[in-house]
Amino acid sequence: MSWKVADIPDQKGRVALVTGANSGLGLETAKALLNKGARVIMACRSRPKGEAVRQIILESNDSTKLDLIELDLADLASVRRAAEQVERQYSRVDLLINNAGVMATPQTLSKQGLELQFAVNHLGHMALTLKLLPLLAKQHGARVVTVTSGAQYMGRIAWEDLQGIKHYDRWAAYSQSKLANVMFALELDKRVRNAASGIASLLAHPGLARTNLQPKSVAANKSWQEGLAYRLMDPMFQSAAMGSLPQLHAATAPTAQGGEQYGPRFNFRGYPKLCRIAPLALREEDRQRLWSISEKLLEI
């Protein structure tokens, strides 16, 4: 049986925060949760772009439950401000969907001087999650869904050159950040279980989905070869709506459990199913090591 948006349980009374909700997977996720009755907080890097998309959504859904906050995951000060705003404005958060990301960027540094992909995809979301844990813990059945990708299976943590200072390869850095997503989510699930907080931490990956990540990567790197590769692979890609199903399933399906990962049935495309976790993320000692290093970096 194929799990679809129609299978999402009623979300009335619940509050969901979705990072990167103005495009791609995040947009589809925000729309689906809103249509099921949730109050959705769109957390977007650009307020004008986020507001423009918010107005487009409201043209077909006159809900009063679609909010917008500014969140730049490449700036830990922005993450702190966004979390503080959520704490002030909302009495609850039931779902945190760490969806936003960057992919295969040229060597670039975050506001705090950290490698951009590691900073945005992993550290920014870790900082946001940890700051919102007390709010999440107030709700029975709260979930954190961290969105990774199939690149996790190719990822390696460059322990001696985590920021790519000695050698930078944009795809290796991307894969490292996606493996870090998995390691963080699994370690988080262990910790919230031990604390008996009632929070579940899950993972999702979209397979090959058409989003703005591909054209942005091509434009940023001025790579005609990459552009050609995407055109040749296009028949293998599924829509952003289909790509969003694994994270929606992880966030809402009653059967989904903490520590699980959902992805397309055939790993590249298809309806969501429970899927294999990257073996390197199963090493508890490495997860604890990454957590410790990440905590130190977040104190910058």
Query: pLDDT by residue (tens digit) across 111-123?
Result: 999 999 999 999 9
Q: Where are the domains of the chain?
A: 5-297
pLDDT score, position 227 = 47
Q: Which CATH superfamily is domain 5-297 in?
A: NAD(P)-binding Rossmann-like Domain (3.40.50.720)
pLDDT score, position 228 = 47
pLDDT score, position 235 = 45
pLDDT score, position 218 = 42
pLDDT score, position 268 = 74
Active centre residues (catalytic)? 174
Q: Supply φ then ψ for residue 190, to 5 degrees.
A: -60, -45
pLDDT score, position 220 = 57
pLDDT under 50: residue ranges of the chain:
214-215, 218, 224, 227-230, 232, 235
pLDDT score, position 1 = 62
pLDDT score, position 238 = 82
Please state whether beta strands 143-147 and 200-204 pair in parallel, antiparallel, or not at all (unpaired).
Answer: parallel
pLDDT score, position 236 = 55
How buried is residue 159: exposed, middle or buried, by Cβ count under 10 Å (0-12/13-18/19+)? exposed
pLDDT score, position 226 = 52
